[in-house]
Amino acid sequence: TEALLHTLKRSRRVKANDRERNRMHHLNAALDELRSVLPTFPDDTKLTKIETLRFAYNYIWALSETLRLA
């Protein structure tokens, strides 16, 4: 029973790790896609995750302000 419990816990941990790995893979893919549409200088600059989110927020705000003022 103790061995079975240990095996069950290990199995749950492996599944949880797999889910987290997939979650991070999808998050990183989404951030890469977001980076591809943001104007950066120079073009080969890779922003960090938080820089990407902050830049996107500010970029959307600036575009919104441009439309509002036009």
- Please tell me the distance from the alpha carbon of residue 7 to that of residue 64, in angstroms, as a whole number: 54
Q: Which residue has the tokens 């575009």?
A: 63
**pLDDT tens profile 3-31:** 999 999 999 999 999 999 999 999 999 99
pTM, rounded to two decimals? 0.80
How many Cα neighbours within 13 Å face the side chain of 32? 6
Domains and CATH numbers, the chain: 2-69 (4.10.280.10)
Query: Is 40:47 a contact under the CB 8 Å cutoff?
Result: yes
**Cis peptide upstream of residue 39 (ω within 30 degrees of 0):** no
Query: Is 31:52 a contact under the CB 8 Å cutoff?
Result: yes
**pLDDT tens profile 27-55:** 999 999 999 999 987 877 889 999 999 99
